[in-house]
Amino acid sequence: METITSIKPLLAVLVSLLVTPLLVSSRTPNVREAWTFVAAIAKFLIVLSMLPTILKGTEIVYTVAEFLPGAAIKFRVDSFGMLFALVSSSLWIITTVYSIGYMRGLKEHSQTRYFCFFAIALSATIGVAFSANLLTLYLFYEILSLATYPLVCHHQDHEARSSGRKYLLYIVGTSIGLALPAMLISYNLAGTLEFGNQGFLAGTASKPLIGLLLFMFIFGFAKAAIMPFHSWLPAAMVAPTPVSALLHAVAVVKVGVFSVVRVLTGVFGTDLLLSFDLGSIILVVCSFTILVGSLIALSQDGLKRMLAFSTIAQLSYIVLGIGLLSPKGLTGGMLHIAMHAFGKITLFFCAGAIFVATGKKNISEMIGIGRRMPITMGAFFIGALSITGLPPCGGFWSKWYLLLGSLEANQMAIVVVLLLSSFLNACYFMPIVYKAFFCKPEDSLFENKVREAPVCCVVPLVITAVISIVFLFYPEPFLELATMTVSRIMGVQI
């Protein structure tokens, strides 16, 4: 694999971090938000400028500092990291527009603090995406945990503080108690932390120790919300909806599953997992999370809480794809990072728009709301189709590849799990759509003359809904980046 050295990965990480002093010193909200847009667009353009190089099969590396042999603060931009970076950097721009409409519409307090920690969180997210080794990934993973804590606790009431404590207990507690020791053991065994195409642990330890390390890494990166380390996610829904949308549907949770996938492929390697039959363990854990998360989502009345349990289930699709240890399975899992991100952020945007316009949080209070907010609920329907995996949305592709990967791996039980979970997705999404459009609106909706939320809330959800449809017809560049990654890891053409 050809590599070139460039400072661009470091610049992509730093740009949103360096803008925070300007956000703090801005005298007016307009200036503050203008700087946020400048940083978001600059970050996206830097990431985008590296895409042609990556699509040519060349990787970009940059070393900041080396502390020990094989353990440096180092960045490497490859196809998988580029896939995740494109998703998170592009959605930051859209979420910034949405944040303005939401935060101003509700006259939220401490908006400068909100935008500052949002920027720091995006720096950490890109840092994880471009990490060349476990040390760098772990460092930015922890920075993200600390940067998002003030966002979870934004409302500063008892519920927010309680949710913030649970958030730190699960996220930081597991990373320090499980992921950090696993990283130290791995370095002691292999003498390196550098990600490799087939990992670096092969031939270094027995099956029981490798299995223990697998357990420690999967549950140590608790942002992936794999059961039983999942309850922080519904609790974190107390945060403002833009936080829930980007950080808990894209950045935070996707950093969790991205880290797990990076470890499974870059630390263990598919050959080692296959030889020790560890893929079966991954499949069992993920299948349990998918089905139980979907069943719990069915029983929820709070819209954001229902979306949270849906997210818990959907995240495990990504890790399950890796556990299949088949080329199409891996492709589907990686592609689901992008497809789920755009579908789920649309749904969170819709939930926030409904709250801004009506003050309502519960599904039972939204009967007939589609007649008053047709654009918002139309976008909700599109997002629901994408998450369910139905045309005309791009979510169809990731679930299609997962099904093909299950057949390729001769895992008929996983085919059943995928089909059953998609049915459950439809069971908790479609009744909301039906009641919104085909039932008589509640009297309160008529009395208050409810209309669409402010334009800054509506435009972003329309954009992400349209993109979800476009992905069905043009899933590039995400599909190409996913197939490139699988070809590099498994040495096969998709």
The predicted-structure confidence for 5-64, as pLDDT tens digits, reads as follows 999 999 999 998 898 888 888 778 888 888 888 999 999 999 999 999 999 999 999 999
| Residues 242, 304 within the same domain | no
- Only one residue has tokens 């694999």, namely 1
Residue 385 lies in a domain: yes
**Region 453-463 average pLDDT:** 87
With 0.75 as the threshold, say if the pTM is over it: yes
> Which amino acid, 179?
A
Percentage of the chain lying above the pLDDT 90 cut: 52
**CA atoms within 13 Å, Cβ hemisphere of 86:** 24
| Residues 349, 435 within the same domain | yes
The pLDDT-based confidence of 368 (bands split at 50, 70, 90) is: confident
C-alpha of 54 from chain center: 22
Helical spans, DSSP H, in 367-411: 369-372, 374-388, 395-408
User: Does residue 111 register a pLDDT over 80?
Assistant: no
- Interval 263-285: pLDDT, tens: 999 999 888 999 888 989 999 99
Helix (H, G, I), strand (E, B) or coil at 70: coil
The pLDDT-based confidence of 445 (bands split at 50, 70, 90) is: low
**Final residue before a domain boundary, out of 232, 267, 302:** 267
User: How many structural domains is the chain composed of?
Assistant: 2
Which positions ≥6 away from 336 have C-beta within 8 Å?
314, 317, 318, 321, 395, 398, 399, 402
The pLDDT-based confidence of 408 (bands split at 50, 70, 90) is: very high
What is the sign, positive or negative, of the torsion defined by CA atoms of 411, 414, 420, 422?
negative
| Residues 93, 218 within the same domain | yes
Which positions ≥6 away from 98 have C-beta within 8 Å?
242, 245, 349, 352, 456, 457, 460, 461
What are the angstrom distances between the C-alpha of 25 and each of 3, 81, 104, 123? 40, 33, 19, 19
**Final residue before a domain boundary, out of 209, 235, 267:** 267
User: Does residue 446 register a pLDDT over 60?
Assistant: no
Domain residues for the domain of 282 are 278-494
Percentage of the chain lying above the pLDDT 70 cut: 94
| Residues 253, 282 within the same domain | no
Residue 272 lies in a domain: no
Residue pair 246/298 in contact (Cβ under 8 Å)? The answer is no
- Interval 161-196: pLDDT, tens: 787 788 888 888 899 999 999 999 999 998 889 998
Residue 452 lies in a domain: yes
Residues paired with residue 62 on neighbouring β-strands, in sequence order: 75
So what's the pLDDT on residue 67? Answer: 81
**Final residue before a domain boundary, out of 235, 267, 299:** 267
The pLDDT-based confidence of 119 (bands split at 50, 70, 90) is: confident
User: Does residue 147 register a pLDDT over 60?
Assistant: yes
